[in-house]
Amino acid sequence: MPQQVLMDTVRVAIHAPDVVTHAGLVSTLQHDRRVRKVPPADIQDAHVVVVAVDIADASALELLRELNDNTDTRFVMLVGQRWQADISTAINLGVRAVLWRDAFTPAAFIRTLLTISEGGGSFPPTLQGTLMKHVQWIQREVLAPRGLTASGVSPREVDVLRLVADGKELSEIAEKLSYSERTVKYVLHGLMKRLQLRNRAHAVSYGIRTGII
């Protein structure tokens, strides 16, 4: 009797030039009803694309570019030896998780696929550290000199938005921050226009949802 496919099954495409690795990954998928392998021709329909490489370097990033038919592609990279690629570029190309081959287990693999399909991410501690250093560098060298934060919102805009969220009137915000009321209006208008927010309530909702206030 054919195995029943669950409605919320995670569709997984596998790109592994090594036939042994490919067979092992396919076998792992076949033993869990929460995931299902899709053929290479249907890679655009996959929730997650698994890419196995020996070394994550510039050529691996180029492979991701070739496989990434749309900006929503989510990659899980299985790396055999070492990571030599720019982690931020990999993330921009859709990498949402990295697994080391020597630490691979079927349970961790399936757990990672489910996490990525739900919009999460999973990186080894060493790569997390590299990514954090990169974010700190961008904040310090690129954003801060322009008066911006990593969220794309300036500290002054954050201050105004927090007070709006507290229910303060524009006159109260101006007094609190030692601005003119006109300046407060200008800050709010610029924020809403840049982020395409409809009104102050929408701006507050955005601030709460993104965690900037």
The pLDDT assigned to 2 comes to 41
Q: Is the pLDDT score of 32 beyond 50?
A: yes
Give 66-69's long-range contacts (Cβ < 8 A, gap of 24+).
Answer: 67/15, 67/43, 68/93, 68/94, 69/43, 69/44
pLDDT at 137 over 90: no
> What's the rounded mean pLDDT across residues 93-102?
92
**Which of the two residues, 30 and 141, has the higher pLDDT score?**
30
Confidence of residue 86 (pLDDT cuts 50, 70, 90): confident
Over 70: is that where the pLDDT of 6 sits? no
Q: What kind of fold does domain 10-125 have according to CATH?
A: Rossmann fold (3.40.50)
Residue ranges per structural domain of the chain: 10-125, 147-210
pLDDT of residue 7: 47
Task: Determine the Cα–Cα distance for residues 137 and 153; give it in Å rounded to an integer.
Answer: 17
Q: What average pLDDT does this structure show over 166-185?
A: 93
pTM above 0.95, yes or no: no
- Average pLDDT, stretch 1-26? 76
DSSP 24-59: HHHHHHHT-TTEEE--GGGGGG-SEEEEEEEEESHH
Give the fold, CATH level 3, of 147-210. Answer: Arc Repressor Mutant, subunit A (1.10.10)
